[in-house]
Amino acid sequence: MGYIYEAMDRAKEQIANNLNNVESRYKKVWKIIDKRWDYQPHRPLHAATYYLNPRLHYESSFSADTEVMTGLYKVMDKFAPKIETMVKIISQLAKFDKTEGTFGVECKELQTFVIHVLGLTCSATGCERNWSVFEHIHSKKRNCLEQQRLNALVFVKYNLNLESRQKIREEKGETYDPICLSDMESDDEWIIEREEPCLYDLELQGQGDKS
């Protein structure tokens, strides 16, 4: 989380360098990035973690501009709602800026706040899709389906996949009944198909037959 803000800035700078710093060229790319960045991932939390990350804070390229400080104070207001605590954190930030004192002893409020904020993580799980199931259901032409209809289509699509898999097994001559529980093995809460014996198991079985 603490590196996203800096990573975006470095990415934009690298794009500008690759385009020979011609503003008329890289500004078009920046505009696309900023539109996406401002609309979805950019949050005050990213600015706050950028400011509070010691790895970035003490670099010569660090810049605490208005956007960064605004994000920091918004997060501070969220995680430290008590005025007394916020005042202490703000006063302790001066020592953090100048690397003075021992943060664990003299800056307890700031330490707690920083650990809480930098301990947060981000994930793209919410943007992921099961493409094998959603294929041809979610597309540019059909992406505004009602939830109930979407669930029905996914159900049908998944069952068609199961039927297709079963037909392939039958064509290969495999005897497999998906309803018969004897063809399944239970391993705690996971249900898995019975695996084919490995070479090591066959060797042990052969040695047992000889004895």
pLDDT of residue 193: 47
Give me the residue spans of the domains in the chain: 4-118, 129-210
Question: What are residue 197's phi and psi, to 5 degrees?
Answer: -65, 140
- 87 is written with which tokens? 């005042």
Output DSSP code: residue 196: P
CA-based nearest residue to 15, from 29, 35, 4, 3: 29
The whole-chain average pLDDT of the chain stands at 73
Alpha-carbon span 7 to 13, nearest angstrom? 10
pLDDT of residue 148: 73
In the block, which residue shows the tokens 């539109």?
Answer: 35
pLDDT of residue 166: 78
pLDDT of residue 123: 64
pLDDT of residue 42: 62
pLDDT of residue 53: 87
CA-based nearest residue to 62, from 12, 118, 6, 117: 6
Collect the ranges in the chain with pLDDT lower than 70.
Answer: 1-2, 38-42, 100-105, 122-147, 175-211
pLDDT of residue 137: 54
Alpha-carbon span 211 to 209, nearest angstrom? 5
* pLDDT tens column, 78-133: 888 788 999 999 898 888 887 766 666 678 888 889 888 888 876 655 555 555 55
- 92 is written with which tokens? 């302790």
pLDDT of residue 190: 42
Whether residue 80 contacts residue 113, with contact meaning beta carbons closer than 8 Å, is answered with yes
